[in-house]
């Protein structure tokens, strides 16, 4: 795809990857992704912000060549050394031999270990300014752990463009490039936050504090749409997702379930009803269709969790184990745990879940609630009672 003008002095020179379906092994990318890189020609000296994933180098360099001679490029800014942005740096430096690598101090060793040679980068730190001549400059903002220790933002004040790398990005490929031209991609935007930035909420809030007084017209991320319609609205979303929830005064119970035929789901609803009657705030979630990051987020803030699974081949099902295998880093002490499920003949799942919850140091006082096949009206009343007792113990 051809370069796209972002502002007077900035062009998008990245690459589209519409076929991608899985990113970094762990992330879904149902709409592919883009590797956004930018060329800044507004000053006397030319700069590039980030490169692209290695297999896409030809697209990137062709875009640059259509605008300038790569030998005239004075700087290549490395905002983040993950290979989706730095993977073609070595080849780029061959085509742009006069480009000085500019990176955060934290990033020096990363750059060295990616290129496997010393490139003597210009090391910058928070607040440093690089003069591009012609009354233009770049300012660097250290934004550690968003999402690697090396990450920084680069601000091109002349046009009000903030380059944030992965921060505020999304895996969403659309050749119309700008957020006001593409379809609604809010789902991909939120998913990206949940998987990449949710573990770094404190750092998200600190970075927002650092940029809050900048005059920003465009946020140029490294994946997905370039944000120009209302850039601060995206920042606000990150802020609200990263703030600690206000205590409501009400006890919070989460009821998770996995159910093939709806029997365990029916138990989940009855448990929730009972717990609500006893004054708890209850959310019911289907583990097979809810985003992991969202579930973990809610567990962090909950007073208790009840986890249900149908028994399939003598075990609880994979989505349940997937969730339970991601809780070890949370502080679960003092939270109440309980388990339940419908079964046909052996009914191992609720017992295995209870053991795991105990292993995670949750307070598991109720015997697992097990119901044979389709719950009767009496079974559902028992499940409500089970929910009431859990609510009381929160
Ligand atoms: C492929 C398969 C394997 C199953 N294996 C077991 C099992 O090992 N032990 C058991 O108690 N029930 C087993 N069941 C029965 C289910 O646990 C039972 O149908 C239950 O009511 C399903 O609950 P659900 O409606 O919440 O999915 C199996 C069912 C299926 C479809
Ligand atoms: Fe990254
Ligand atoms: Fe990235």
Mean pLDDT of the region 199-222: 96
pLDDT averaged over every residue in the chain:
95
Task: Evaluate if residue 245 carries a pLDDT over 80.
Answer: no
Atom 4 of ligand 1: nearest residue by CA position = 312
| pLDDT of amino acid 392 | 97
The CATH homologous superfamily for domain 4-242 is: Ribonuclease Z/Hydroxyacylglutathione hydrolase-like (3.60.15.10)
Name the nearest CA neighbour of 151 among 271, 50, 259, 282. Answer: 50
Q: Is 334 exposed, middle or buried (0-12, 13-18, 19+ CB in 10 A)?
A: exposed
Residue 195 banded pLDDT, cuts 50, 70, 90: confident
The Å distance, Cα 316 to ligand 1 centre, comes to: 10
Task: Evaluate if residue 113 carries a pLDDT over 90.
Answer: no
pTM (2 d.p.) = 0.81
Ligand 1 near 189 CB (within 6 A): no
Whether the domain at 4-242 and the domain at 252-393 fall into the same CATH topology = no
Task: Evaluate if residue 193 carries a pLDDT over 90.
Answer: yes
Q: Return the bridge partners of 161, or none.
A: 156, 218
| pLDDT of amino acid 164 | 98
- The answer to whether the beta carbons of residues 149 and 109 sit under 8 Å apart is no
For residues 362, 365, 367, 370, the Cα torsion angle rounded to the nearest 10 degrees is -50
Residue 189 banded pLDDT, cuts 50, 70, 90: very high
Name the nearest CA neighbour of 193 among 167, 230, 219, 223. Answer: 167
| pLDDT of amino acid 117 | 83
Q: Where are the chain's structural domains?
A: 4-242, 252-393
The Å distance, Cα 191 to ligand 2 centre, comes to: 14
Q: In what order do the strands lie in the sheet with 46-49?
A: 4-7, 10-12, 38-40, 46-49, 73-78, 100-104, 122-124
Q: Count the alpha carbons within 13 Å of 226 in the hemisphere toward its beta carbon.
A: 25
Q: May I ask the CATH class of domain 252-393?
A: alpha beta
| pLDDT of amino acid 329 | 73
CA gap 323, 162 in Å, rounded: 36
- The answer to whether the beta carbons of residues 87 and 60 sit under 8 Å apart is no
| pLDDT of amino acid 246 | 76
Give the atom of ligand 1 at the shortest distance from the alpha carbon of 308. 26
Task: Evaluate if residue 247 carries a pLDDT over 80.
Answer: no
The Å distance, Cα 202 to ligand 3 centre, comes to: 20
255, 258, 260, best to mutate for ligand 1 pocket (most atoms within 8 Å of CB): 260
Mean pLDDT of the region 261-275: 98
Task: Evaluate if residue 168 carries a pLDDT over 80.
Answer: yes
Mean pLDDT of the region 18-23: 93
What sign results for the dihedral spanned by CA atoms 173, 82, 74, 56? Answer: negative
SS3 184: coil
Residue 328 banded pLDDT, cuts 50, 70, 90: confident
Mean pLDDT of the region 262-267: 98
CA gap 361, 314 in Å, rounded: 24
Residues 6+ apart with CB under 8 A from 185: 31, 170, 172, 174, 179, 224, 225
Mean pLDDT of the region 228-243: 97
| pLDDT of amino acid 106 | 82
Bigger pLDDT: 39 or 27? 39
Ligand 1 near 311 CB (within 6 A): yes
- If one counts every other C-beta atom within 10 angstroms of the C-beta of residue 187, the result is 13
Give the atom of ligand 1 at the shortest distance from the alpha carbon of 341. 26
From the centroid of its chain, how far is CA 300? 17
Ligand 1 near 2 CB (within 6 A): no
Ligand 1 near 309 CB (within 6 A): no
Radius of gyration of the chain (CA): 25
The Å distance, Cα 141 to ligand 2 centre, comes to: 17
| pLDDT of amino acid 116 | 87
Residues 6+ apart with CB under 8 A from 244: 301
Ligand 1 near 257 CB (within 6 A): no
| pLDDT of amino acid 199 | 83
Q: Give the ligand with the smallest distance to the CA of 260.
A: 1
How is 129-179 classified by DSSP, letter by letter?
EEEEETTEEEEEEE-TTSSSTT-EEEEETTTTEEEEETTT------TT-BT
| pLDDT of amino acid 351 | 98
User: Which range has the worst mean pLDDT, 81-95, 142-156, 322-336, 343-357?
Assistant: 322-336
């Amino acid at each position: 795809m051809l370069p796209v003008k972002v502002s007077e002095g900035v062009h998008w020179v990245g690459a589209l990857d519409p076929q991608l379906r899985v990113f970094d092994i762990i992330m879904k990318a149902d709409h592919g992704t883009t590797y956004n890189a930018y060329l800044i020609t507004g000053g006397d000296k030319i700069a590039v912000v980030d490169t692209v994933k290695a297999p896409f180098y030809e697209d990137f360099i062709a875009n640059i060549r259509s605008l300038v001679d790569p030998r005239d490029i004075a700087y290549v800014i490395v905002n983040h050394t993950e290979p989706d942005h730095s993977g073609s740096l070595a080849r780029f430096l061959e085509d742009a031999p006069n480009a000085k690598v500019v990176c955060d101090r934290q990033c020096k060793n990363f750059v060295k270990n990616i290129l496997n040679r010393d490139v003597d980068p210009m090391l910058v730190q928070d607040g440093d300014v690089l003069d591009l001549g012609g009354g233009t400059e770049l300012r660097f903002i250290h934004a550690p752990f968003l999402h690697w220790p090396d990450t920084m933002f680069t601000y091109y004040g002349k046009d009000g463009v903030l380059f944030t790398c992965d921060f505020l990005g999304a895996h969403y490929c659309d050749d119309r490039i700008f957020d006001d031209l593409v379809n609604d991609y809010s789902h991909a935007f939120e998913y990206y936050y949940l998987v990449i930035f949710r573990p770094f909420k404190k750092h998200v809030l600190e970075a927002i504090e650092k940029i809050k007084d900048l005059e920003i017209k465009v946020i140029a991320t490294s994946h997905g749409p370039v944000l120009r319609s209302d850039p601060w609205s995206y920042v606000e979303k990150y802020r609200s997702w990263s703030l600690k929830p206000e205590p409501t005064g009400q006890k919070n119970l989460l009821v998770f379930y996995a159910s093939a035929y709806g029997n365990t789901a029916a138990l989940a609803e009855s448990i929730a009803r009972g717990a609500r009657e006893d004054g708890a705030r209850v959310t019911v979630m289907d583990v097979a269709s809810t985003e992991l990051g969202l579930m973990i987020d809610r567990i962090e803030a909950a007073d208790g969790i009840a986890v249900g699974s149908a028994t399939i081949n003598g075990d609880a099902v994979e989505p349940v184990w997937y969730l339970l295998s991601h809780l070890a880093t949370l502080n679960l002490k003092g939270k109440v745990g309980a388990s339940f499920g419908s079964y046909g003949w052996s009914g191992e799942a609720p017992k295995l879940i209870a053991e795991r919850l105990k292993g995670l140091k949750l307070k598991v006082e109720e015997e697992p609630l097990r119901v044979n096949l389709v719950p009767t009206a009496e079974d559902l009343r028992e499940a409500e009672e089970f929910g009431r007792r859990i609510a009381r113990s929160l």
